[in-house]
A and B are shown apart, each in its own frame.
Chain A
């Protein structure tokens, strides 16, 4: 059943929410959890549901994404038929590249038309979760829905610049759909987590119809307007979900990985795939003090590391104390330095005896390749 679905992942959505990390990369290729990129989660969910063809829609800044995905072999998606198919903007002299989701979908109608799967699973990549997409597809078929939208119950206001809340009836059919509503503190709401199942041919029809009528917003013009006429169902996801819509949220959710239940929820089954780098196991020297931290391969630790996430190939020198920080790939921290609540992007150099500190609400961010 699942192999009757094709995946589509939007790699550039909501980049503006987290400009620090998306300045040189897509939302999809933002590093996460020590050795992953955000796209690894939605991509792995698709692969684990038996989906073998995934179109990745990109618009700009996608060099890091290309580098990460390669041929797709690390996700077992180097296939003769299908596999990972990158979908950069398609435009001729009369069009500019797309500016909204409907135009983006129009740009991939060629891809959608040439597939023969019955369904399309559409996902963004700013949400971290391990979701059984096969169950969503089964639900979609069982309800004979036009569209199935996945939601997660959240408490209080949502920070994201653009979001939807859903009101399902007893059968799960969506009877109300609001875009960017004002939410009260502590009020519970069903927030759409940007994962949708839709019949492929139905999607193609919607796109063509929208184009001829000059519509521009998938949320407003298609979903919200037709909530009574279309059979839109909600799939309630109850597991761990982390929406990344600001640097602060990025920091907060990353730190949640230090909790065992969160790690077990995401990684317990050992089926989140990522690009492999052939780094050696990490080296803990005499005098290294490591506690409550996630450490990736290729690190060399001589100092103190507390409540941290270290990506691949990080070096922490003698006498350095790194606390509550996220240290990305190949960052080198000299000796006698002190870092607290810091996020370093890739390839940062922190020289000896530097003191850097932020706070949990406002972590101190150091851009890629900087030397301090």
Chain B
């Protein structure tokens, strides 16, 4: 008997994340740091292993270096397997043709051989842009129970935001009768989460047809799902009720980080029943100094805090010197905030140095926007970075 996997996951991680500006200059969006010690891709990968799915293809295209290194052999997620495990799938040169991934559907189509190797009954399609905890096994169970050809995970969003999403119009039993991609006048507020389970044979059939269709833009939401619906395939929605956040913009990334804070956080990463696995930093416990003031914050291993940290999320090895203040901010690994410097309502990427007395950002209450500093840059002593400003180069001030 041929060895097989019941369900194979395909994780779309090629997104450029252009709305994250300086944060995705050199790395793919799924590799962006989140919540102190995580990267965005830790969430779908942890969901997979926690759901019993141990075969994951990660489709990369844009700036894959950091992501490839981070995923490595998949060991931090227990995805180093002799049969299955996590595999990076990048565009490749084939005998007949070679091309970049042209759209989400095309990316999966080009890796049909990878999926077929495991002879799966089902294929789970995921994206690497969201922060959430979800049991895919429960979704698969629902997919089998309804006998669907395709099941789409869906969440209710506020009606006024519905036109930003792919909207599912469903019957009472959850079956989908209409799929509208970013409708101007949405009929419902049930949004697709970009998480699909396909019965494998149907997926392969429709991907092949889609590839042969010159009019198609090779996208799941725009092409493949409508084609299946038009052909009368059984498509069901799967209601998800829980925390789910697209972190594709500066403000949503900031908000999602803040959602980890508080006594009853909107999203709890410290959940023993659903661990989020990650590649752990090699660092000693954080040191909180004699004069330090800390309130409502997450602080990671290897940090040295002598100053003030309020309502903030600090990744590993961040230094906050005496008299420095970090308020309402997200500081990624290795950031240094020198004496007397202030970082307010900002996101600062890895290994950036804010010299003495510099001020980055402005009070959140002023509603002037989040300041963003890219990685490996230096903000000169006494320099002032205005609210909402985005910098990806050294800055000495005016």
Q: Which A residues lie at the B interface, using CB under 8 A?
A: 33-35, 73, 258, 260, 263, 266-267, 270-273, 276, 278-288, 290-298, 300, 305, 309-310
Q: Which B residues lie at the A interface, using CB under 8 A?
A: 35-37, 75-76, 261, 263, 269-270, 275-278, 280, 282-292, 294-302, 309, 313-315, 317
Cβ contact of A283, chosen from B75, B270, B315, B317, cutoff 8 A? B270
Query: Is B277 a contact of A278 with CB atoms below 8 Å?
Result: yes
Query: Is B285 a contact of A284 with CB atoms below 8 Å?
Result: no
Tell me how far the C-beta of A152 lies from the nearest C-beta in chain B, rounded to whole angstroms.
22
Query: Is A267 a contact of B299 with CB atoms below 8 Å?
Result: no
Cβ contact of A282, chosen from B76, B282, B283, B286, cutoff 8 A? B286
Complex Cα–Cα for A310 and B292 (A): 17
Query: Is B287 a contact of A294 with CB atoms below 8 Å?
Result: yes
Count, A-B residue pairs, CB within 8 A: 109
Give me 13 other A-B pairs in contact (C-beta within 8 A), A282-B298, A283-B297 excluded: A34-B284, A34-B285, A258-B287, A267-B283, A271-B282, A278-B275, A280-B35, A280-B36, A286-B295, A290-B288, A294-B284, A296-B286, A305-B288
Query: Is B263 a contact of A263 with CB atoms below 8 Å?
Result: no
Cβ of A280: which chain B residues have Cβ within 8 Å of it? 35-37, 269-270, 276, 298
Query: Is A292 a contact of B290 with CB atoms below 8 Å?
Result: yes
CB closest residue in chain A, given B310: A286
Query: Is A290 a contact of B294 with CB atoms below 8 Å?
Result: yes
- The binding surface of chain A is classed by DSSP as loop
Query: Is B75 a contact of A281 with CB atoms below 8 Å?
Result: no
Cβ contact of B285, chosen from A285, A300, A309, cutoff 8 A? A309
Which 8 A-B residue pairings sit nearest by Cβ, starting from the closest?
A281-B36, A34-B285, A280-B270, A267-B284, A276-B280, A281-B300, A296-B285, A284-B294
Query: Is B289 a contact of A284 with CB atoms below 8 Å?
Result: no
Cβ of A267: which chain B residues have Cβ within 8 Å of it? 283-284
Query: Is A290 a contact of B283 with CB atoms below 8 Å?
Result: no
Query: Is A290 a contact of B282 with CB atoms below 8 Å?
Result: no
Query: Is A282 a contact of B284 with CB atoms below 8 Å?
Result: no
Complex Cα–Cα for A310 and B296 (A): 18
Tell me how far the C-beta of B29 lies from the nearest C-beta in chain A, rounded to whole angstroms.
21
Cβ of A309: which chain B residues have Cβ within 8 Å of it? 285
Query: Is B285 a contact of A33 with CB atoms below 8 Å?
Result: yes
Query: Is B289 a contact of A270 with CB atoms below 8 Å?
Result: no
Complex Cα–Cα for A73 and B279 (A): 13
Cβ of B76: which chain A residues have Cβ within 8 Å of it? 276, 278
Cβ of B283: which chain A residues have Cβ within 8 Å of it? 267, 270
Query: Is A297 a contact of B37 with CB atoms below 8 Å?
Result: yes
Complex Cα–Cα for A133 and B80 (A): 32
From known contacts A73-B75, A278-B275, A287-B295, infer whether A297 and B290 are also in contact, taking CB-CB under 8 Å: no
CB closest residue in chain B, given A307: B290
Complex Cα–Cα for A279 and B270 (A): 7
Cβ contact of A294, chosen from B261, B285, B309, cutoff 8 A? B285
